Structure 1
Amino acid sequence: MNGSAGTADELLAIYLNDHLAGATGGRDLARRIARSQRGASGARELGRLAAEVAEDARALQDIMRRLGIPIRRYKMLLGWAGEKAGRLKSNGYVVRRSPLSSLLELEAMRLGVEGKASGWRTLRELADTDPRLDPDRIDTLLERARTQSETLQELRVRRAAEVFAG
């Protein structure tokens, strides 16, 4: 590896902090989706999903601590700000929520979960050679991401049908 590109540990620190930024934005998005859908179809699943996404972000921080990787708070702030900026989308409505908002948020959430799963897969590969990583814990996180993605896909399909049927 080229010395200017950083050591493997430095690159892993950047990689995991970037994933943590995404996890921070994803956590906030999941909470907002769950709040906006209270009483709607899928509300219970969204509440569970929001709790799991927050737990996954904490699990990533725990893994980073085990690896001795410092948590870059500014990246978490960027993830938080990115989620807030994502609310500023053109959706055909100025004052109130568009019916498209829920659909687009579910799609964004699913993309985030797929990205999270990729991060877990990378860590799972590293767990084969790094005793600081618990392969069973990472397998559990991977399975949960798979279930989350399936749930989001089901909710997305249902919401798309509701939005475009009328």
Structure 2
Amino acid sequence: MISCREAVTDDLRAMAGIFVAAWRAGYRGVVPDEVIDALDADTVAADLAAGLSGPGLTTVLAVDGTGRPAGFVRYGDDADHPGEGYLAALYVHPAASGAGVGRGLLQHAIDAMPGVDVRLWVFEDNDRARTLYERAGFRPEGVRLVDPRWRAPQVRYLRPAPR
């Protein structure tokens, strides 16, 4: 049984562990191996902390029946498109993969942003994530970028507000 709650500062180490484990298990062949191998939980936790207290964003942690963190999602206002939503992050620990945690977190974020268009960035070669987003109604917008930190192409997706 998975439940969701808003993340707090004490969750940052667990969230960083989820992030690093998800990247190491799922991003080989998507981003360069040296980027993945260089990931450090302390640095990731510090990066995640900045968004935890940032305005306009909410971070929700999924926990299993024993209280162990299984994944997290970060969503909120789209700084580039005022009045619209943004899915900033969605990660599931590999041990919880395939159990519906990602779908549940994605649906939680969508439900928390009703009546607005929602955008996200996804790695171009991350077929598993792209399938998840497309099943939830997201479609590529035709915008692409390469973030110098990750050195891999990303595409922007849009889920139009229900009309």
Structure 1 and Structure 2 fold alike (TM over 0.5): no
Point out the structure with max Rg over C-alpha. Answer: 1
Q: TM-score w.r.t. structure 1 length? A: 0.30
More helix by share: 1
More strand by share: 2
Q: Which has the higher contact order (CA 8 A, sep 6+)?
A: 1
